[in-house]
Amino acid sequence: MTTTNNESKSTIIKVGTTTSSSTSSSTSSRRHLIQQAAILFPLSQGLLLSSITTQNANAVDITLLDQQASKFKRVPLFAIVDGTTGTPFMILQNTGKAQAYFFTSYDGAQAVLDDARRDAADKGFETKSMWDGARISAVNLEFALKIGSGKPKAMAQNKVKYESVSDIIPSITALNDAEKIDKSGMYKERGRVPLFYSDEFEIGPEKEGGPNRIPVFLERSDLLREYAKKYPDKEDVFVTVVDLMDTFSTMMGNKPIGAKVDERIVQNFFIVPSMESRKKAVECEKERGSIPAYNIGEMVAVGGK
C-alpha cells in the first residue's frame, strides 16, 4: 500500500526483497530517447577552450551553491568523454543549446556508449573512430549540480560557443522502483532522479548535540541492504521516494510550484553512494591518468538523426 507522508510517497517493503529488473514502457522509452540521441554526426574539428562563460551567473548565489552542492560530493556520476582530452560529448539540439548527460550508474553510461558505437559501425558513419576513442569518466554529483546551475558555454568543433544544459540520468531500476512507490506519474517525466529513504532509518548527527541525519540513496536496493545491516531483526521497512532535483532546488531557495519535497530531507539528509559506483569511479580515475576527467568549456558536439 502507499501513503502520503510530508508530500512524499511511501510504501512498505519487506527487507531482503529483490528489486525487479523488468522495464516499464515509460522507462524503456526514456532510455531509448537517450540512446537514440547518441547516434551522432561530427561537426568540424575545433580547439580547446580554457575558460567558461556562465549564462546565468548573476542569477545564482555562488556561495549558497557551493555550500549546498558540496553535500553531494561523495556520490560518483559518470559521463561519456573523449578518451584523449576529457572533452564531454553533448547533443546539439535544434534550440541552439547543447545537452550534457551524467549517469548515476557506470552501466547506464556504458550502455549508451555501446549503442552509439554499434550504430556508427552498422550504418557506416565516419564517426566510428571518434566513438572508438570515447571512454567513461567519473565526476561527482556536486560537480553535475554546479554545471546544471551555471549552464556554462562550451565551444564546439566549429569554434562556436553554445549554452549547455545538463540532465542526470538515473538507472532504469531506480525509476521502476520509484514508479512503484509514487504512482502519480512524475517519475515518467524526463529529468526526475529518485532518492530513497525511510523515516525509520537514521544515523548520528553531523555535529555533537545536533539532530540525527536521514540517509538517502539513489537505489532502493542500497537502502534495503543498509537498513538490514542496522536493523537485522526488522522484517519490513517503510520506503519513501523524493526527487533529487526538486530537493536541490528547494535547498537553493527555489522550491518548484507543486513539488513533493520532504523538508526534513532538505535540512538534514546524508546521501550514501553505492559501493559499486564508488568502485567503478576508482577504476575510471586510474584509467584516465593525467587526462582531465571532464573538460569544461568545450564539447564534442553531436546531433541525433
* pLDDT per position as a tens digit, 184-241: 999 999 899 999 999 999 999 888 888 999 999 999 999 999 999 999 988 888 999 9
How far is residue 39's CA from residue 302's CA, in Å, rounded to a whole number? Answer: 8
Give the mean pLDDT of the chain.
Answer: 82
- The domain in which residue 275 lies consists of 2-20+177-279
CA distances from 161 to 40, 80, 95, 173 (A): 19, 20, 14, 36
pTM: 0.82
- The answer, yes or no, to whether residue 88 has pLDDT greater than 80, is yes
Residue 208 lies in a domain: yes
| Cell numbers linked to 284 | 575510471
- CB under 8 Å to 208, separation ≥6 — which residues? none
Phi and psi at 193, nearest 5°, equal -130, 105
Residue 138 lies in a domain: yes
Are 157 and 88 within one domain?
A: yes
Are 129 and 192 within one domain?
A: no
Tell me which residue of 282, 288, 269, 305 sits closest to 71, measured CA to CA: 269
Are 163 and 296 within one domain?
A: yes
Are 68 and 202 within one domain?
A: no
- Side-chain-side CA neighbours of 137 within 13 Å: the count stands at 26
pLDDT at 8: 62
Residue 134 lies in a domain: yes
Are 153 and 55 within one domain?
A: yes
Residue 284 lies in a domain: no
pLDDT in tens, 276-302: 999 999 999 999 999 999 999 999 988
